[in-house]
Structure 1
């Protein structure tokens, strides 16, 4: 009987140790993170490594979950970046330029209502970082379409926009609206909070009745510092 109890305790102890090690490994993995790469000459059938990168931002965003950094190689990406998953405080989702390369997210090929909303959109997501990206070339001549370079909306927390360039966002309609960077809290009483917008350049905009860089609605605990806003025709 004593041997049976000892054996059961040993199995229980080993199980606890096993789960404890697994939890530690998962936590370390989340902190260390996973890296994926996107390149203009990539292929979405690739594994997303530096040697075999993805081709589209859509593919990268679909698998970029907590702890993931997506490195964007230099080149032009003619598509929107729609962030699909939230990160955590310790393991954010990061989209950033690789090294000193200059990836451009371009809306030049978007037509009609496709130009509405954010060329980069973070909707109801938390702990997202965008760093070193160039976003631009989106325009409309329609009154009911509002092009936006980077659009944060809904509710959420922990979003950082660092050292990006947003330019050539335009409305040509006499009653039109456009934004360079816009943060709109639209899910009150839940807020968009803990927002950092730092070191960005917002320029060459035709805004109609709207603003170059705006935080509107239910937004709190934000820091907007060391940004350059120039060559715009409105606020």
Structure 2
């Protein structure tokens, strides 16, 4: 038995607290027949332990983290996140979940490495946070999110101002694109296709909001194509 606070209650319901008595074991051995001993309070976890368990419960699904304040030289943990999706993909293994924290990212996301049928690679915006991928000022004629690997899920992002397509899938299969908003792309909001390298098939595109894209036509025709559509 450890020395800690105990409430000692006698038969007349009067009570007192014995505080951290060094000789409590001997005392209790002599008083067992006269008193009922119960802990005065449950042991409470320390704040750091509670915080650690909360973090584990909230973020256990992710294997790699990306943050607008991260560095690509980091290992990709929650405390030391990466800076780009492209670097996270390079470090990923089949079945991994890449969680991107809230913020604005001004870099191309090159998803060139995927998963397997039973263990797809998932790239997702952190739940409850707004993640914006913004192509403003990047090299011309580049897809902002380029998926060239199979068994990939990409979900939960705002993709805007691409200098070519917002999200493209090229010569890949079994890709899921869901719950994204894609706007103000120079060409297509979401484009899927293939050519000599192979065909694209078995794709799922669902619950995306795609609007105000194909901006290159607005300059030609004096109007903007790509009205607000839901897929």
TM range, smaller chain = 0.5 to 0.7
Aligned to 1:136: 160
State the Cα RMSD in Å: 2.5
Q: Does 1:117 align with 2:142?
A: yes
Q: 1:118 to 1:102 in 2, by over 3 A?
A: same
Does the 8 A contact of 1:128 with 1:160 survive in 2?
Answer: yes
Q: Where does residue 160 of structure 1 map in the other structure?
A: 176
Structure 2: give runs of 5+ residues left out of the alignment.
1-59
Tell me how far apart the structure 2 counterparts of residues 180 and 160 of structure 1 sit (CA, whole Å).
15
Matches within 5 A, 1:1-235: 35-110=63-138, 114-123=139-148, 125-139=149-163, 147-154=164-171, 156-170=172-186, 178-187=187-196, 190-205=198-213, 206-208=215-217, 212=226, 228=230
State the Cα distance separating 1:122 from its structure 2 match.
Answer: 1.2
Whole-Å separation in 1 of the counterparts to 2:119 and 2:226: 30
CA shift, 1:59, in A, is 1.5
- Number of residue pairs the alignment of both structures matches: 165
Q: Which runs of 5+ in 1 are unaligned?
A: 1-31, 140-146, 171-177, 214-226, 230-235
CA contact (8 A) 2:114 2:120 kept: yes
Partner residue, 2:27: none
